[in-house]
Amino acid sequence: MAQQQYAQDSATIKKIYDNALTSFESYENLRYLTKQIGARLSGSPQAAAAVEWSRQLMEKMDLDTVYLQEVMVPHWVRGEKEIGRVTNSRLLGNVDMHIVALGGSVGTGKQGLSAEVVEVKSFEELEKLGKKKVKGKIVFFNRPFDNTLIQTGSAYGGAVDQRGGGPVAAAKLGAVGVLVRSMTNDYQTIAHTGSTRYQDDVEKIPAAAISTVDAEQLSSLLKEDSELKFYMRMTSETLPDVLSYNVIGEIKGSEKPDEIVVVGGHLDSWDLGEGAHDDGTGCMQSVEVLRLFNELGIKPKRTVRAVLFMNEENGLRGGTKYAELAKARGEKHVAAIESDAGGFTPRGFGLDGSKEQLQAVLAWKPLLAPYGLHEIGPGYGGADIGPLKGQGSVALIGFKPDSQRYFDYHHTEIDTFEQVNRREMQLGAASIASLVYLLTEHGLDGGGAKASK
């Protein structure tokens, strides 16, 4: 029986890959999303257009259900192009530098802000300086990625606290502004935006990311002249919240329709670039899973639900609302898969779940390994599916493409359609669809057939 099941699963997965790798549909959908709609920051007209377009896209697919899920989202706007400049350094005089406002940052006012700079690489170093050396200055957080780490996501995790918590920590000591080294392992003149956080009881100060090339130059200039000043001008502001939506499409399960396997990505993006790798590819791969099931006549035993989440980038309101409503409705999620690490060559999946669930997925490795999916083990699920954790026995699964190039493009103006390789994206969609098939066919409760030759 096990051999018969293995043969059936193997044949189905082969059909999934064959179809995905010879269809241009997901790639062309990504082209439209990025080129015709463009950047999709929460609260923007482009985000609203993306919701309506993706709803219509799924409605044309003859799914069992397509619907919108209301969610109120933040509406932050960047304003005019930012200006960053070192002024009056003893070594070079005035030097223009590449900066972008961090998401959620307050502006500097029309006149801009000019102040001396103090450089730190950690919060501990900042605290040691104290108010006397920080008050009235711009704090420059310059801790780089640890490039000895093979997984670039781990390097990101080791540096991103500067971006999220830097403005509050600096403001508590009297700083008037913050510069944060861009979150990338690359050495480039492009600045990377990303969300930052404030506290209501701490003064909100302007916060910007500075490119890695300029961060290195600023650090060198400070060693020559600790009294140089930095001028920054940003007109960003936060407007009232806006009504938006998660976009959901599903195929009902034939035997256990109340058991749900979710696959998703986030429809919103930062306002720079086109939101291609982050996360247009994840959204279109999720829609492609539904297309593959329909086109191949795969009747899932459990319900397959694609969710295009809104507001992952600067609030996580979509993922939070989805989990809130799922709990209120008593929905049973078997697993949730998130694709939010770019459209690069697939490597595997990381699972946040029980030992039993991990063993069940590992049992399918012989079916998945022929397609390059070797990195299957414990891992991080994803931001949007994270709020589902603890609701029953849901397993949270993160799709893992090759990570080496992701932070070249992440949160930048160069995250465009042209940077996505069609075949890599197709391989990712097939990989996700294959795991979704196995999950819907066998579940993770220990009762599924093992993939045994």
CA 299/CA 293 separation, integer angstroms: 7
Choosing from 259, 312, 331, 338, which is the catalytic residue? 312
Cα dihedral across residues 218, 222, 227, 228: positive or negative: negative
Return left, alpha or beta for 169; rule: phi > 0 is left, psi -120 to 50 is alpha, else beta: alpha
Cβ neighbours for 56, distance < 8 A, ≥ 6 positions apart = none
Amino acid making up residue 330: G
Q: Are 117 and 230 in contact (CB under 8 A)?
A: yes
Q: Does the active-site annotation cover 413?
A: no
Q: Are 134 and 119 in contact (CB under 8 A)?
A: no
Question: What value does the CA radius of gyration of the chain take, rounded to a whole number of Å?
Answer: 23
Cα dihedral across residues 308, 311, 316, 322: positive or negative: negative
Active site residues: 312
